[in-house]
Structure 1
Amino acid sequence: MSKLSFKTLLVLIFLSFNSFSQKKTLVSKSTTESIVVDGKINEKVWNSAAVASEFIMFEPDNGKPISPDKRTEVKIVYDNTAIYISALLYDNEPDKIQKEITNRDVFGVSDHFSVYINGFNDGQQDFRFFVSAAGVQMDCLATEDFEDFTWDAIWDSEVVITEFGWVVEMKIPYAALRFGKAEKQVWGLNFMREIKRDVQKYTWNRVDTKIGAIIPQAGILEGIENIQTPTRLFLIPYTSAYYQQSDIGSDRTFKAGLDIKYGINDSFTLDAILIPDFGQTKFDNAILNLLPFEQKFEENRPFFTEGTDLFNKGNLLYSRRIGGEPTTIPNTSDAEEITNYPSTVNLLNAVKISGRTEKGLGIGFLNAVTEKTRATIFNNDTQEFRKEVIEPLTNYNMIVLDQRFNQNSSVTFVNANTTRNGAFRDANVSALLFDLNTKANTYNLYGDFKYNSINTIEDYDGFKTELGLEKTSGKYRYGFSGKYVSKNYDVNDLGINFYSNYHNAYAHASYRIVNPTKVFNTFRINEYVNFEVDNTSKKLQTGAFGTEIKATTLGNHTLELLLELSPLETFDFYEPREYGKYVFIPEKVISIVNFTSNDNNAFTIIAQPTFTKFNEKGRNTYGFYFGPKYRFNDKFSLAYAAEYTKLNNDRGWVGFENSDIIFAQRNREILQNDLVGKYSLNNKMTINLTARYYWSYSKNKDFLTLKDGGYLIPNNTYNLNKDRNFNSWNFDLSYSWWFAPGSEISILYRSYGLERTSQVEKDLSRNLKNIFNSDLTNVLSISVRYFIDYNTIKNKF
């Protein structure tokens, strides 16, 4: 080959690579024409709008162009109110388009079209809007680490199945987005199309999966200029009525309140909730908790889940603290007993402000106030009642400042403060975080420093710091991190943290394929090692080596394997329930296998056996999860899940005897059954069933005394009954109708009961009989929420 031809070849290769990696640009067209979102795309402005096409496969065969018979053509126009999107999704077999009707934000077995919009074009957060071929909407706020589908925006969409495929038309109001004040807007933009039956996803601007970051690989939207956006003020009044009945009696409750959403400008939004009502939120999955830590519950209240991505920076917010359990127990004499101890504290009001400036500074402010709560105490000698404050008037406050730069990096400051009225515990936590990525998104350096100050009977301070480095691109990736947590690190007034007083070293290395092979569509293997050492005793509390494998077959079944080996003696510093004490944990091996079948099939299953073997005679844990699901048609489906765990010769704390810490050698069984059903009348109206039965017991065989050094010896004197039997039943049957954008009528029937006893009953049928013969509580409720746009009212009057 001549020098000239070789140089020419190099230039061609460079130009080819450069053009392939170059960001695509779509220019939006302004319109004054009234656009009806009906899926017909018949307004004149669409004829002259620019077209986004030539989609590229995202997965599984990354980089492969879409076939001509699946070509996709997307256009965007805009006015002063919203952007409008039309998409023609061609399909040579339109009768095979998957279109299961689901609840909002549930993907199901459907083809999907979505648009990803980043109004600041900073490569860090998308506003994502999805529509299924059945017309169901999904939306989320997305960062590289997390997709928040609890965020719900108000937008319009319509879908039409045609002879050539299907058509999507969308209207996304500016109120559903965040962007700067510039006269000429430049937004990050990408479209994604999912062809469900082939388990394939395509994007307009290519996303290279060898690069860890997805959002910075978006294209560009230009052309939106000189828009005069309307006032963003939305009122959502609600009213609800409850009828509750149990063996104790019946009760009727009527509630009314108001949510307010106000756009301070196009970048910042204020959310306020006045007289909240969370009576129809999902029930908590209560368990028999024998661990030294509280059970962590999911947040189901919309105000604390929607748009809280900023407030989750640093993991200092566990919003269930707000309106959760009281933090103190009243002092009582021998003659007194507590006759009424409220399980939760009422939330009076809450407000949050969040947004981001044009220079990338995100600002978040969250404030909530809970009311003074009292317990009732009865004196058996004087026959008098008295009340004592168990939670004073409390103010919860969080401030977040998050500066983004270089498209993919950020530095964040967080302050979380809890102030209780009077001589009760106060707390303040501050954190500085950084997340730095190279320009090409190949390496990531991250870390934090968190400091807490607690004001109580004895004031104390604590801190936690972490530093990590990762390679985040290519087939081979690796990372290293280390952390130090001080003795008095405590963020549990507004956050949640169980472990303290240790330092840690962690490393991992992984390999993945980015294109299908003859065996797998996807494949990833990760090796890791993790060591944690107690700061005071210098003893090991974790020493683990692990292998994780996840693969998808050519038939789109998923296989997962975890094998973790702990070959060294370790110690548990929390189970003894006394600071400075610890108990020996023998060497162990953990194995978990998971099989998930292709969800395109009408009948699918999830099967997951687990096994843990301790280096101690007869001590092991095994379990099995089995979850079949059958989709009868696009409207009706039923899913069942059974999870069983058996712990043989488990060892755990049961109490104190004088100055001794008492453990028990025990057998435990845990059984949980879940039934979930869905019937969709249409894409706005659904009937849902959720039922859960949970049973667990702990049967003590021998008692043991914890000695210095962390080892246990037999105890022949302790004879208290510390056996446990726990039954929990929950049943929800609901009807939901989204009768207008953002407006919903919901009817809920709920039945629940809980039984705790120290008499172990191993017969399942008797346990079921006991729970249904207990004091079941039955609730019937109806709730109406109506979305009001200030501009609609203004135009009418």
Structure 2
Amino acid sequence: MNLKFAPLLFLFAMASSFCWSQAPKKVYHTKFTSEKITIDGKLDEVVWQQAETATDFVMVQPGNGTPEDSNRKSIIKITYTHEAIYVGALLLDDHPETIARELTTRDDFATADHFGIFLNGFNDGQQDFRFFVSAAGVQQDCVYTDANGEDFSWNAIWDSEVRIVENGWIAEMRIPYAALRFSPTAKQTWGLNFYREVNKTRFKYTWNLIDNKINTESNQAGILEGIENIKTPTRLFFIPYSSFYLNGNSFTKTSGELKGGMDIKYGINDAFTLDAILIPDFGQTKFDNVVLNLGPFEQTFNENRPFFTEGTELFSKGDLFYSRRIGGAPSLYENLGPDEEVVDRPNNVNLFNALKISGRTSKGLGVGVLNAVTRPMYSEIRNTVTGATREELVEPLANYNILVLDQRFRKNSSVSFINTSVVRNGGNRDANVSALVFDLNTKKNTYKLSGDYKYSIISLADTKNSTGYNTSLNFAETSGKYRYSFGGQYVSTFFDNNDLGVNFTTHYHSLYMNGSYRLLNQTPKLNTFNIFFNNYSEFDNRTGRLQALNHGINVNIVDKKNDYYGFGFNGRPLHVYDFYEPRTYNESRFIRLPRVVSAYFYFSSNYARKFAIDINPSFTQSDEKNRFTYGFQFAPRYRFSNKLSLVLDYTYNHLNNNVGYVGQDDSINAIYMGRRKINTHTLSLNGKYSINHNMTFNLVTRYYWSYALYNNYYALLDNGGLLNVTDTVLLDADRNFNTWNCDLNFSWWFAPGSQMNILYRNKAFLQQSQNIDESVKGNLGRVLSSQNLDHIFSISIRYFIDYNSLKKN
């Protein structure tokens, strides 16, 4: 083919794809009711007999497009009032005694049949609010977008009830308009789909077919019509809370602390919502899985604070926002004088308050604003000679702000502008980052063109501003059995979004090309089969050296017993150069990394069985003598009953002859590296006992032990090689790192949106650099000794108050 015509052919393919038409969508017509409906799982009100019926579900997995069995028919009805929409579902099953009904905590699907409804108040094909209820009565809810999938950190307040009947089970829901977002027009047209999962077969069905030839779900929803002239009530909610903490260990006197505060949610209109937290309390959030970090980059953690996880889909645009920066570690360090030491340094920065406003107009423009103000924080410093103490500022008063404008169009594409800023008091470091992000899809969702341009400005007192940029462009075929994607990225030397985001590597450009094949329907032996080919290369901008390279193949299989198998091979056939491990910005200092080949295997048996197990061995071999890595995961689980289950997870990793940074001597421009073995053990035990779908005991434990032993030290050469150092008096890099966390929690949802949590937590941390003990018994015994354990007992009560109920009373 003559390459000069390739761009024309590409544009022709894109243009022609816009002319393809989609299959007709199912339409459901609902009607208004003034009848009082009790959510009891009975469907005995008159309106349920008169409402239109939605049925004829089709399978999503494993037999995509297969009609549902006649003995498992799904019969759904919808009605609405001025306050909420109501959903009634009769889910037929000729063997109701086999319906899976495991009890668990909210947002955990576990081993249970499920019914769900997907609602898109703007019918823009890009975002669903999804509400599920299990046959055991457990609720799950999430926000879905094609870019981020299902985000179950979002929680709404809605009612549901289920009931097992002689021919299946019934689910009844009441979803208030406060849990949704939609345009203010008199006549509403919403995107709608229903979902059903039969756990014993792992069959998944939807009302309007989600064709797996197309890489989108929300765009394949049906239509809900008939909601007209609704007079929605004021959306104003108060969630006051009170918490009591009792802290103690063997070194300090047991102390108590009482906290209180309030969350406020206000519906500016039916599309926009304001969320605010006053005097925040995050004391009962899940603990972080801390590890021994010997690399050049900080460890990042999942966000567990509800305010920063709920409804933050807009703020994830452009990957500029890492919410743990707000309230993270202080940004400044102490200036110590002679004979001074730090007695107390705060681990985290406290918040004054935070608020966010988010929503979308009827024209598809999404607007998001998030703002948080953090308190000044001080370290306590003591003079070791005189005993005098003083305070030094380690984090000034700071304001964090994010603005997002996201314009959706053609029900599958968007263009977004994002700005993040951090302003610190007193002439300290300020940061501003802006981005333009686009995601363009052809009308039938067969091809995608996406990319971004990001620009950062860092301001320091008496210093010239530092600026940088980061840009990427990607193209992909997103439909059919065979799919591919390719693209590239360029990051300048001084691009920096780390004040409110995460970006560890700069001054590089990269290229990638991926391909895949998948079964679109089940076969006599397999439910699913996918194979992926990945190719990635990355080059340092300053020297042109290759700094990352990977070629890989990965296979995923689900057999007819719903057991999962995965395996893959990855390789780096050339030497690459690491400019970050030497911990310097000097382009002439790097370490040369060897060629490697790696393989892994993963097996996960069907969780629908009482006993299931996950097994994951892996191995990596380099072309350096005795330099290799191996590891494995062993994770059995057992479900004793629908109320009680336990999961044990043990992971072991061994790095042999690994090379890493040790230290440096600036006076002679020397950087020292070490050859080491690293062993890591992680053991966790998670247990759950549910009294009912509102009351659950949860046990989460984690013991992590990792140690690094160095056997040789080297000076780093200018060519990336290593020169043996015989005098190692100043080099002592051995590390032994132990952490223990145990949370025993009782959760009770005693009213809609209202929860009581009782938590007992004990934790311990132990780090050594000399006389490393390599025995499990010795390390576990020391970390669990009474002098290392901290004990925390806390009670927190949050109560949901609807302004409308106050007004009525």
TM range (shorter): over 0.9
Q: Partner residue of 1:744?
A: 755
Q: What does the per-residue CA deviation read over 1:225-282, in whole Å, with 9 as the maximum and x for residues that have no partner?
A: 0000000000000001010001222211000000000000000000000001111100
Q: What does the per-residue CA deviation read over 1:346-405, in whole Å, with 9 as the maximum and x for residues that have no partner?
A: 111000000000000000000001000011111234432121111000000000000000
SS of 1:186 mapped into structure 2 = strand
User: Structure 1 residue 718 and structure 2 residue 728: aligned?
Assistant: yes
Q: Rate the CA distance shift 1:221–1:695 in 2: closer, same or farther, 3 A.
A: same
Task: Tell me how far apart the structure 2 counterparts of residues 423 and 193 of structure 1 sit (CA, whole Å).
Answer: 57
SS of 2:648 mapped into structure 1 = strand
Q: Partner residue of 1:785?
A: 798
User: Structure 1 residue 495 and structure 2 residue 501: aligned?
Assistant: yes
SS of 2:302 mapped into structure 1 = coil
SS of 2:315 mapped into structure 1 = helix
Match of 1:197 among 194, 197, 200: 200
Q: Partner residue of 2:50?
A: 48
Q: State percent identity of aligned pairs.
A: 52
Q: What does the per-residue CA deviation read over 1:279-302, in whole Å, with 9 as the maximum and x for residues that have no partner?
A: 110001111110111010111000
Task: Tell me how far apart the structure 2 counterparts of residues 499 and 51 of structure 1 sit (CA, whole Å).
Answer: 55
Q: Partner residue of 1:129?
A: 131
Report the AA paired with residue 226 of structure 2.
G
Q: Partner residue of 1:4?
A: none
1:493, CA displacement in angstroms?
Answer: 0.1
Task: Tell me how far apart the structure 2 counterparts of residues 766 and 410 of structure 1 sit (CA, whole Å).
Answer: 57
Q: Partner residue of 2:491?
A: 485
Q: Partner residue of 1:266?
A: 270
Q: Rate the CA distance shift 1:727–1:613 in 2: closer, same or farther, 3 A.
A: same
Number of positions where the alignment pairs a residue of Structure 1 with one of Structure 2: 779
Q: Partner residue of 1:618?
A: 626
Q: Partner residue of 2:421?
A: 417
Q: Is the 8 A contact 2:143 2:151 kept in 1?
A: yes
Q: Partner residue of 1:8?
A: none
Task: Tell me how far apart the structure 1 counterparts of residues 549 and 760 of structure 2 sit (CA, whole Å).
Answer: 48
Report the AA paired with residue 677 of structure 2.
N
Q: Partner residue of 1:154?
A: 157
SS of 2:102 mapped into structure 1 = coil
User: Structure 1 residue 183 and structure 2 residue 196: aligned?
Assistant: no
Q: Partner residue of 1:371?
A: 375
Q: Partner residue of 1:766?
A: 778
Q: Partner residue of 1:554?
A: 560
Report the AA paired with residue 144 of structure 1.
D
1:123, CA displacement in angstroms?
Answer: 0.1
Report the AA paired with residue 794 of structure 1.
K
1:340, CA displacement in angstroms?
Answer: 1.2
Q: Partner residue of 2:521?
A: 515
Spell out the pairing of 1:625-774 with structure 2 (5 A cutoff). Answer: 625-657=633-665, 658=667, 659-719=669-729, 720-759=731-770, 760-773=772-785, 774=787
Q: Partner residue of 1:36?
A: 38
Q: Partner residue of 1:231?
A: 234
1:219, CA displacement in angstroms?
Answer: 0.3
Task: Tell me how far apart the structure 2 counterparts of residues 212 and 330 of structure 1 sit (CA, whole Å).
Answer: 52
Q: Partner residue of 1:453?
A: 457
Task: Tell me how far apart the structure 2 counterparts of residues 241 and 116 of structure 1 sit (CA, whole Å).
Answer: 39
Task: Tell me how far apart the structure 1 counterparts of residues 338 and 539 of structure 2 sit (CA, whole Å).
Answer: 43
Q: What does the per-residue CA deviation read over 1:312-345, in whole Å, with 9 as the maximum and x for residues that have no partner?
A: 1111111111011001111112321111111111
Q: Extract unaligned runs of 5+ from structure 2.
A: 1-19
1:710, CA displacement in angstroms?
Answer: 1.1
Q: Is the 8 A contact 2:659 2:674 kept in 1?
A: yes
Task: Tell me how far apart the structure 1 counterparts of residues 742 and 185 of structure 2 sit (CA, whole Å).
Answer: 52
Spell out the pairing of 1:19-418 with structure 2 (5 A cutoff). Answer: 21-145=23-147, 146-249=149-252, 250-418=254-422
SS of 2:187 mapped into structure 1 = coil
Task: Tell me how far apart the structure 2 counterparts of residues 125 and 660 of structure 1 sit (CA, whole Å).
Answer: 54
SS of 1:21 mapped into structure 2 = coil
Q: Partner residue of 2:580?
A: 574
Q: Is the 8 A contact 2:22 2:444 kept in 1?
A: no
Task: Tell me how far apart the structure 1 counterparts of residues 133 and 548 of structure 2 sit (CA, whole Å).
Answer: 45
Task: Tell me how far apart the structure 1 counterparts of residues 523 and 805 of structure 2 sit (CA, whole Å).
Answer: 55
Task: Tell me how far apart the structure 1 counterparts of residues 526 and 721 of structure 2 sit (CA, whole Å).
Answer: 48
Report the AA paired with residue 628 of structure 1.
P
1:672, CA displacement in angstroms?
Answer: 0.4
SS of 1:272 mapped into structure 2 = strand
Task: Tell me how far apart the structure 2 counterparts of residues 483 and 721 of structure 1 sit (CA, whole Å).
Answer: 39
SS of 1:624 mapped into structure 2 = strand
Q: What does the per-residue CA deviation read over 1:403-454, in whole Å, with 9 as the maximum and x for residues that have no partner?
A: 0000000000000000000021000000000000000000000000000000
SS of 1:753 mapped into structure 2 = strand
1:21, CA displacement in angstroms?
Answer: 2.3
Task: Tell me how far apart the structure 2 counterparts of residues 660 and 641 of structure 1 sit (CA, whole Å).
Answer: 43
1:20, CA displacement in angstroms?
Answer: 9.6
Q: Partner residue of 1:427?
A: 431
Report the AA paired with residue 233 of structure 2.
P
Task: Tell me how far apart the structure 2 counterparts of residues 434 and 123 of structure 1 sit (CA, whole Å).
Answer: 16
Q: What does the per-residue CA deviation read over 1:477-496, in whole Å, with 9 as the maximum and x for residues that have no partner?
A: 00111000000111100001
Task: Tell me how far apart the structure 1 counterparts of residues 221 and 211 of structure 2 sit (CA, whole Å).
Answer: 11
Report the AA paired with residue 766 of structure 1.
G
Task: Tell me how far apart the structure 2 counterparts of residues 423 and 188 of structure 1 sit (CA, whole Å).
Answer: 50
More displaced 10-residue stretch of structure 1: 559-568 or 188-197: 559-568
Q: Partner residue of 2:7?
A: none
Task: Tell me how far apart the structure 2 counterparts of residues 588 and 456 of structure 1 sit (CA, whole Å).
Answer: 42
Q: Partner residue of 1:563?
A: 569
Report the AA paired with residue 582 of structure 1.
F
Q: Is the 8 A contact 2:334 2:379 kept in 1?
A: yes
Q: Extract unaligned runs of 5+ from structure 1.
A: 1-17
Report the AA paired with residue 660 of structure 2.
G
Task: Tell me how far apart the structure 1 counterparts of residues 284 and 383 of structure 2 sit (CA, whole Å).
Answer: 37
Aligned residues: CA RMSD: 1.1
The two structures have a TM-score, normalised by structure 2, of 0.95
Task: Tell me how far apart the structure 1 counterparts of residues 251 and 264 of structure 2 sit (CA, whole Å).
Answer: 37
The two structures have a TM-score, normalised by structure 1, of 0.97
Task: Tell me how far apart the structure 1 counterparts of residues 459 and 569 of structure 2 sit (CA, whole Å).
Answer: 44
Q: Is the 8 A contact 2:615 2:635 kept in 1?
A: yes
Report the AA paired with residue 735 of structure 1.
F
Task: Tell me how far apart the structure 1 counterparts of residues 595 and 213 of structure 2 sit (CA, whole Å).
Answer: 38
SS of 1:769 mapped into structure 2 = helix
More displaced 10-residue stretch of structure 1: 587-596 or 375-384: 375-384
1:214, CA displacement in angstroms?
Answer: 1.1
Task: Tell me how far apart the structure 1 counterparts of residues 94 and 788 of structure 2 sit (CA, whole Å).
Answer: 59
Q: Rate the CA distance shift 1:705–1:20 in 2: closer, same or farther, 3 A.
A: closer
SS of 1:185 mapped into structure 2 = strand
SS of 2:316 mapped into structure 1 = helix
Q: Is the 8 A contact 2:526 2:559 kept in 1?
A: yes
SS of 2:105 mapped into structure 1 = coil
1:775, CA displacement in angstroms?
Answer: 2.2
Q: Is the 8 A contact 2:21 2:444 kept in 1?
A: no
Runs of 4+ residues deviating >4 angstroms:
none
Task: Tell me how far apart the structure 1 counterparts of residues 689 and 312 of structure 2 sit (CA, whole Å).
Answer: 31
Q: Partner residue of 2:9?
A: none
Report the AA paired with residue 293 of structure 1.
F
SS of 1:313 mapped into structure 2 = helix
Q: What does the per-residue CA deviation read over 1:738-767, in whole Å, with 9 as the maximum and x for residues that have no partner?
A: 000000111000000000111211011000
Q: Is the 8 A contact 2:237 2:803 kept in 1?
A: yes
